[in-house]
Amino acid sequence: MTYTEAIEYIHSICWLGSRPGLERITELCNKMDNIQDKMKFIHIAGTNGKGSVSSMLTRILINAGYKVGTFTSPYVYRFNERMAVNGEPISDDDLAHIIEVIKPLADSMEDPPTEFELITAAGFLYFYEQKCDIVVLECGMGGRLDSTNIIKKPLLSVITGIALDHTAILGDTLEKIATEKAGIIKEGCPVIYGMMPDSCAKIIEDTSSLARPCDYSRLRDINLSLDGASFYVTGYRKPFKLKLVGGYQPRNAMLAVSCAEILGIEREAIHKGVCETVWPARFEVLSAEPIVIYDGGHNPQGVEAAVNTVKELFEDKINIISGVMADKDYDYICSLIKPIVHTVYCVTPDNSRSLSSKDYAEAFNKQGVTAYAFDSMDSAMEKAYSDSKKENRPLLGLGSLYMYCEFVDALKKIRL
């Protein structure tokens, strides 16, 4: 099997929307001799922040001398990023081999696995063959019925935060969503959770006597700039200097630090790992003149975090290129963006669930925000970049991680 054939097979798996449940992944893993039971995991769920925390934990563990597998979604540049060892995405040849092994097993199932279930099994096999010491395993959606939840006894369960997202599947209240996320908690395993409403924290603590909140009071002297964020953590002499800009990243870092401390990692490795972390599309500065930034905030909580960072970094209003999925609360997203924006250049992301740029622009216009609809990212970038340069105004790309490559490619064409 070639790499191209492997990718085509993965994407050919019948999706049929989301199909929660552990029956299919259980059957597939049984056919794979349940290799997941022979590995060690840190299991991470949460509405936002999973990718950043996973990336920081990966760098910390590498610095502590472990061979680390990382399973994340979605990818930014290439599919291979979804499973990496010591920060290096799976090679094309290795992915082709892994899928070649799994394909006959999946094809033999009467109820075939979904695409994400297949990818989860592929990650397990790759990390097993690579003899990883620890796997940082990120949930795809929810937790209780997510295919990653087949693992039995993680070293640590992490819930980064709770917000309304995927409500049609996970529930229409924060408490219902918290219950789904808390489904990753296993008896006798330590649990740490991030910032969330008290009602959600209670659900997690009622699920496990070993659950504890991240102590954000240890964070102090936080300073943000376009070069990153610096801060101190109680118990560490040296300041942490993050390469990640977002105002929400010191909190993600504090959660990653707390996870590593629970695991008994030495402080030098923790400090070095956090400071080394690079993670694209999280308030990433792509250009200095004019300032162009991209942030993958795609739900209300993510957008609010990006908006708060804009308020901290810039005094004047900015321009924004944005696209959104139709199943998001886009009217509320528009209201969050309104206070910081001069002009919005609306696009339709390359996704079957996307809201049309015309409907998105109309939603902004109804709230008194100047917004225009564009047929393509290239045309939106051409106009937005020109206006931003003329006005000496920062330009922010805001939307799904799936939109990141379109945005970067369009920016490169303008800057050539």
**Three-state secondary structure call for residue 38:** helix
- 394: cis peptide before it, omega within 30°? no
The pLDDT value recorded for residue 75 is 87
Mean pLDDT (the chain) is: 93
Confidence of residue 406 (pLDDT cuts 50, 70, 90): very high
Q: What is the DSSP letter of 298?
A: -
Confidence of residue 73 (pLDDT cuts 50, 70, 90): confident
Rounded Cα–Cα distance for residues 56 and 273 (Å): 6
The pLDDT value recorded for residue 226 is 94
Q: Whose structure tokens read 């979604």?
A: 73
Lowest mean pLDDT among 2-11, 70-79, 124-133, 197-206: 70-79
Rounded Cα–Cα distance for residues 273 and 400 (Å): 26
* Cβ 337 vs Cβ 322: under 8 Å: yes
Q: For 150, how many CA atoms within 13 A lie in the half-sphere containing its CB?
A: 25
* Cβ 232 vs Cβ 257: under 8 Å: no
Cα-Cα-Cα-Cα dihedral of 19, 25, 26, 31, to 10°? 140
∠ Cα 127 158 128 (to 5°): 10
The pLDDT value recorded for residue 350 is 81
Rounded Cα–Cα distance for residues 183 and 185 (Å): 5
Q: Give exposure, 299-334, as e/b (b: 16+ Cβ within 10 Å).
A: bbbbbbbbbebbeebeeebbbbbbbbbeebbbeebb
The pLDDT value recorded for residue 17 is 47
Tokens matching residue 251: 């909190």
The pLDDT value recorded for residue 28 is 97
Tokens matching residue 175: 């408490």
Rounded Cα–Cα distance for residues 183 and 194 (Å): 16
Confidence of residue 130 (pLDDT cuts 50, 70, 90): very high
In the chain, the domains with their CATH numbers are 3-276 (3.40.1190.10), 284-415 (3.90.190.20)
How does strand 291-295 pair with strand 284-288? antiparallel
Tokens matching residue 209: 């006597």
Integer distance in angstroms from the first to the last C-alpha of the chain? 38
Instruction: Provide mean pLDDT across the span 95-119.
Output: 96
The pLDDT value recorded for residue 415 is 82
Tokens matching residue 238: 């040296």
Among 80, 110, 107, 77, which Cα is nearest to 92's?
80
What are the start-end ranges of the E strands in 122-218? 134-138, 156-159, 191-193, 211-213
Q: Whose structure tokens read 């959104």?
A: 324
| pTM for this entry | 0.91
Rounded Cα–Cα distance for residues 70 and 88 (Å): 9
The pLDDT value recorded for residue 47 is 83
* DSSP H stretches of helix in 32-130: 50-63, 92-107, 115-129
Confidence of residue 395 (pLDDT cuts 50, 70, 90): very high
Among 213, 212, 230, which Cα is nearest to 221's?
230
* Cβ 53 vs Cβ 255: under 8 Å: yes
The pLDDT value recorded for residue 353 is 78
Rounded Cα–Cα distance for residues 341 and 322 (Å): 11
Tokens matching residue 149: 């939840």
Percent of the chain having pLDDT more than 90? Answer: 80
